Structure 1
């Protein structure tokens, strides 16, 4: 289910649509740190981290995690800020590609839970607000709807060249949940030996 490197270490990059997989669960299964890029990027009150500072922070976190635990699980689509920083050192890429009709309700539910304080925000001191969550061009819900097809097109092109079927490192988890469930079972079995 994962390639890893010659030493049996995993450096996993989870990409795709919001709300499609709990990457912290994957990190816990593998016993390696989880690095959610949203938490690194967003400062309190939704202030953006300058690109150079963001890149330096991510570089340090990747190195620390690799040195202390042999790997990491990173989630987030920040290639425009980070370039190939993550891609160059990753052993496995998980492309989460469920149908919009599956993950959009999950995303809306997660957003509502954040609005009511039932689950933490994507980054400390970055509370969701109704106006921004549902009625703003910066809404994660609007972003997911408006970027679903372009993200799918871009990642499909990458997958054609670097997918596991072609000997590469990108694994697509699509469909209505069966792929995801089977993959998680395979990871558990791999870890349990």
Structure 2
């Protein structure tokens, strides 16, 4: 177990967590950035609309929230500034690509709900479009990784140069670090309940 707490929070029992790439344990609302970004038919909200929807969602529970998504150019600065903890899930491409492909296939076959209501996957979009999530993962993996490495240099929990804003953690590898961290979060929540 690390000497650092599994989550920082704001010091008053409120947690605003961004997972880049588990609200149940904390008992906090989960916010999907995909559902706030996309309108039916894959119509994007404007940056202003997206940020307004995020602000509204964040204000719904004073105890905090858990948000997922990685929209670096569509409101992430706002999200990053609003969080107490940023969790960067950074498994190797070959570990997560098959998961994305499987999830996309299930959505394509309508065996799993779409990322946002009214945004159904189509065979053409999945396999023959530059807008495909599969293509995006392959073509942006190294770009996103480099961008987050730069963020770690600034706000990484143990290594960031901006000491007063350190709040980002990275979990790479096959998942054992994430499992250990989730166990630490569950233990933290259990300890707070017994206080």
Q: TM-score, length-normalised on structure 1?
A: 0.89
Where does residue 15 of structure 1 map in the other structure?
20
Q: Contact 2:70–2:76 at 8 Å: present in 1 too?
A: no
Where does residue 7 of structure 2 map in the other structure?
2
Where does residue 104 of structure 1 map in the other structure?
97
Where does residue 62 of structure 1 map in the other structure?
58
Distance 1:120 1:129 in 2: 13
Where does residue 27 of structure 2 map in the other structure?
31
Q: Which runs of 4+ in 1 moved over 4 A?
A: none
The alignment covers a number of residue pairs equal to 181
Tell me which of 150, 172, 175 is aligned to 1:174: 172
Distance 1:175 1:63 in 2: 34
Within 5 Å, which residues of 2 pair with 1:1-193? 1-16=6-21, 26-65=22-61, 67=62, 70-82=63-75, 84-166=77-159, 168-193=166-191
Q: TM-score, length-normalised on structure 2?
A: 0.88
Please say which structure displays the higher CA radius of gyration.
2
Q: Report the CA distance between 1:161 and its aligned residue.
A: 2.1
For structure 1, the 5+ residue unaligned runs are: 17-25
For structure 2, the 5+ residue unaligned runs are: 1-5
